[in-house]
Amino acid sequence: MIKNLQYYKFCLYGFLKNLRFYEPFFILFLLSKDMNFFRIGLLISIREITINLLEIPTGFISDIAGRRKTLLISFIFYIASFVIFYVSGSYISLAAAMVLYGTGDAFRTGTHKAMIFDYLENKGMSSLRVRYYGHTRAWSQTGSAISSLVAGIFVVITSNYSFVFLLAVLPYLLNLINIWSYPSWLDHPSDSATRNKTNYRDTLRNLMELLRKRGMAKVIINSSSVSGMLKSAESYLQPLLLTIAITLPFARDLEEESRSALLIGVIYFIIYLITAAASRRSALFTSLSGSESKGMNYSWLIFVLTAAVTGILYHTGFHWLALITFIILFSAENIRRPICVSRIAGEAGSAPLATVISTDSQMKSLFAAVISPVVGYFADMAGPGFGIAAVFATLLIVYPLVKVKA
């Protein structure tokens, strides 16, 4: 695998993108606003519905108008959302920040992956899709690990969950510079307004043909369902870590909130180091499974079964075991994601990649938008563990609908 300057730029993009210092404390930040899990679930739905509504249109914009500009727009929306989260004082302002964040996500998802796969095709390295994307994703997870540790320290120093949103602005500004330095041929610019209209019609036609292709719908649903389910389940990791932190004889000289913040940062740091290693082993998992299709199916079952077990352990008070199974969930997603994206890219044919991958991301957002309030409702009724177990155990019955054929 060639590790040239562009490889490192791709890795730097993921590393800077995942310096989301607020992420390990986002749910705790919302809980500190006196919200219940259902209202938090609604906020997540607002974000995901925004992504769902804008995903395919922004994919069209990316394929037609230019990918670098699309990514730059995305990061501007992210930065605006961070600022609003920092100053937010009401549910309406939080909802507005979620809309801005969702818009940024809609412009970003699919675009950068498409650039990577077009780059590999141009360089004659398409056979390395799983391995190459797995390595760049590993750098993203490394960024998450470092940001978790740094965020924990800053929360201890400032005693303020809001400050970490402001801290996240700097790496996103740096990523604007990194994105602009990408080679212009990855941008796919159009020559005229007439060409834009033609591209739009061709893109729509190619996408519809792709989705009618036998088995492609299952590939996308298999891929997107787990990613959407993880978005719903991961909301409850932070309250679990808070429960664990309170019971540990750790840094007793600090106040309870500062001690919890430091421990949460450390645990997230460890989790993301593990998921970074998992991403690097996507190609190995594919090889052991026998094919990309089998790898997608096996990892889907592993994820859903583990999620149901996680809920049961959480609900019955086995918090440390629940933490371990949460780590398995994150690892399963990071092993399978490069496999899924590679399979989708391989099936895309003449359909523009940014639009195809955006369709996958749109489905992910739809799953998250539907599941999050449901899990939140049951979590308020009988506890987070019960909410997770009830919803994810039920989802096992849909496996025949998502099983991908070789």
Q: In whole angstroms, how far apart are CA 1 and each of 18, 115, 126, 292?
A: 24, 17, 11, 20
Highest mean pLDDT among 141-150, 182-191, 208-217: 141-150
* Whole-number percent of the chain with pLDDT over 70: 86
**Separation between Cα atoms, residue 318 and residue 67, nearest integer Å:** 46
**Separation between Cα atoms, residue 359 and residue 104, nearest integer Å:** 16
Q: Is residue 341 scored above 90 in pLDDT?
A: no
Q: Is residue 301 scored above 60 in pLDDT?
A: yes
**Can you give the pLDDT at residue 68?**
86
Mean pLDDT of the chain, nearest integer: 84
- Chain segment 23-66, per-residue pLDDT in tens: 889 988 998 888 889 999 999 999 988 988 887 677 677 667 78
**Can you give the pLDDT at residue 83?**
96
Token pair listed for 241: 């870590």
* Whole-number percent of the chain with pLDDT over 90: 32
Residue 75's domain comprises: 5-183+192-402
Q: Is residue 116 scored above 50 in pLDDT?
A: yes
Average pLDDT value for residue range 221-232: 85
Token pair listed for 144: 């998450």
Average pLDDT value for residue range 288-306: 90
- Chain segment 233-276, per-residue pLDDT in tens: 888 898 898 888 777 766 566 676 777 888 888 888 988 889 88
User: SS3 sequence, 58-103?
Assistant: HHHHHHHHCHHHHHHHHHHHHHHHHHHHHHCCCHHHHHHHHHHHHH
Domain CATH code at residue 165: 1.20.1250.20
**Can you give the pLDDT at residue 344?**
81
- Chain segment 152-199, per-residue pLDDT in tens: 999 888 888 899 999 999 999 999 999 999 988 887 644 433 344 445
- Chain segment 61-78, per-residue pLDDT in tens: 766 778 888 899 999 999
**Separation between Cα atoms, residue 389 and residue 313, nearest integer Å:** 9
Token pair listed for 84: 């609003």
Token pair listed for 371: 């599941």
**Can you give the pLDDT at residue 157?**
87
User: Based on the structure, what is the number of domains in the chain?
Assistant: 1
DSSP three-state, residue 36: coil
**Can you give the pLDDT at residue 120?**
85
